[in-house]
């Protein structure tokens, strides 16, 4: 259905952006929660397949909920996650199993099927969301996800992080932007919901570059998108790099981030569903905090309020987004 993007609220709710929450409400009848699973994968950028040491900013523990530990089976994590969410969100009628930690397609297909099986066997699980790297997908796995997608909701979420190859090199990412573009296109071609993740604040990047490069993001064949501000995690390689080369980093405090991201999305493809505007890491993991202990739901309220005050909406300044 063609939407009128000149209207302030073209997505059918009262938000000024294309929200993931609204997408889930439309896609599934009833309230759906995501359950984060750590299935014990590693990552090709750590185990030597592509590199060692990992991305310079990565400490997976900091990005995982505490109930989700790889020593527990997928079944146990699912049942504990459902109990946790049922307490907190009594209206949840179904769940998406979110295989989040590390690279969740980094194993032979037979092994992947075994790992996903408990989630697919659970009638409360309405679909699976798989977080992975763009260089961790192949034609055989895509064919499997394509057939699975015929009976269940399947979403593949790729860490892209930057549109700049020199940044990807500097953070030891181990893949190029073109690799991400190609894998995303192949996944979309298979009819699978595709998500992408980007970080604002990586070394030698700044708002001018992000605005100049937004057309590269707008051209990606993705359905949904997540943005995170860079947070310097204790003990990661990027911590020392930050102390040594502070002027290479453009980090945000909360106020400057809200200003930036609200303006940024006025240029963002209005078809993209925004799943996150910012990251949230428990303060104990942070080398220092530009944000204080502010929670994501408060950040989201600030962003929504700012969009309202400015009269801005996602995509109002984009051109030629089909
Ligand atoms: S961010 Fe992802 S790809 Fe990079 S080291 Fe961590 S798990 Fe691996």
Q: Which residue ranges make up each domain of the chain?
A: 20-310
pLDDT (tens digit, 9 = 90+) per residue, 148-177?
999 999 999 999 999 999 999 999 999 999
Looking at ligand 1, which atom is closest to the CA of residue 173? 4
pLDDT confidence band for 73 (50 / 70 / 90): very high
Q: What is the pLDDT of residue 66?
A: 59
Higher pLDDT, residue 35 or 67: 35
Say which DSSP state 246 is in. G
Average pLDDT rounded to a whole number, residues 46-72: 79
Query: What's the predicted TM-score (pTM) here?
Result: 0.94
**Distances, alpha carbon 112 to alpha carbons 19, 60, 103, 130, in Å:** 30, 20, 11, 11
Q: Is the minimum distance from the CB of 45 to ligand 1 under 6 angstroms?
A: yes
Tokens of 99: 């295989």
Q: Is the minimum distance from the CB of 46 to ligand 1 under 6 angstroms?
A: yes
Q: What is the pLDDT of residue 1?
A: 40
Q: Is the minimum distance from the CB of 55 to ligand 1 under 6 angstroms?
A: yes
**Distances, alpha carbon 116 to alpha carbons 108, 149, 220, in Å:** 13, 13, 27
With both helix axes pointing from N to C terminus, report the angle between 139-148 and 177-189 in degrees, rounded to the nearest 10: 40
pLDDT (tens digit, 9 = 90+) per residue, 260-286?
999 999 999 999 999 999 998 888 889
Q: What is the pLDDT of residue 320?
A: 61
Average pLDDT rounded to a whole number, residues 185-196: 98
Alpha-carbon distance of 60 to 72, in angstroms, equals: 16
Higher pLDDT, residue 30 or 63: 30
pLDDT confidence band for 184 (50 / 70 / 90): very high
Q: What is the pLDDT of residue 87?
A: 79
Q: Atom 1 (ligand 1): residue with closest C-alpha?
A: 58
Tokens of 8: 């302030």
pLDDT confidence band for 28 (50 / 70 / 90): very high
Ligand 1 pocket test: pick from 39, 40, 45 the residue with the most ligand atoms within 8 Å of its Cβ. Answer: 45
In the CATH hierarchy, which top-level class contains the domain 20-310?
alpha beta
Is pLDDT at 8 greater than 70 in this prediction?
Answer: no
Mark residue 254 as left, alpha or beta (left: phi above 0; alpha: psi -120 to 50; beta: remaining): alpha
């Amino acid at each position: 259905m063609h939407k009128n993007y000149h209207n302030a609220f073209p997505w059918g709710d009262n938000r000024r952006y294309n929200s993931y929450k609204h997408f889930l409400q439309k896609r599934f009848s009833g309230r759906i929660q995501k359950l984060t699973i750590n299935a014990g994968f590693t990552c090709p950028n750590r185990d030597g397949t592509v590199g060692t040491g990992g991305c310079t900013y990565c400490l997976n523990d900091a990005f995982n909920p505490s109930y989700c530990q790889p020593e527990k089976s997928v079944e146990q994590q699912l049942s504990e996650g459902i109990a946790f969410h049922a307490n907190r969100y009594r209206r949840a009628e179904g769940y998406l199993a979110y295989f989040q930690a590390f690279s969740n397609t980094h194993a032979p297909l037979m092994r992947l099927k075994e790992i996903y099986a408990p989630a697919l066997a659970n009638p409360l699980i309405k679909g699976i969301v798989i977080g992975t790297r763009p260089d961790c997908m192949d034609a055989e796995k895509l064919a499997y996800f394509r057939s699975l997608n015929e009976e269940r909701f399947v979403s593949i979420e790729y860490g892209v992080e930057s549109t700049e190859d020199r940044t990807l090199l500097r953070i030891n990412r181990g893949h190029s932007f073109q690799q991400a573009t190609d894998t995303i296109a192949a996944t979309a071609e298979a009819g699978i919901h595709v998500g992408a993740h980007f970080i604002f604040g990586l070394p030698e990047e700044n708002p001018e570059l992000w605005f100049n490069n937004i057309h590269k993001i707008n051209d990606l064949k993705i359905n949904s998108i997540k943005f995170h501000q860079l947070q310097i995690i204790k003990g990661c390689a990027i911590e020392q790099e930050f102390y040594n080369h502070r002027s290479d980093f453009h980090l945000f405090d909360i106020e400057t981030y809200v200003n930036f991201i609200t303006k940024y999305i006025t240029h963002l493809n209005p078809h993209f569903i925004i799943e996150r505007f910012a990251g949230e890491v428990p303060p104990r993991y942070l080398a220092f905090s530009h944000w204080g202990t502010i929670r994501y739901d408060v950040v989201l309220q600030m962003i929504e309020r700012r969009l309202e005050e400015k009269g801005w909406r996602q995509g109002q300044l984009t051109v030629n987004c089909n």
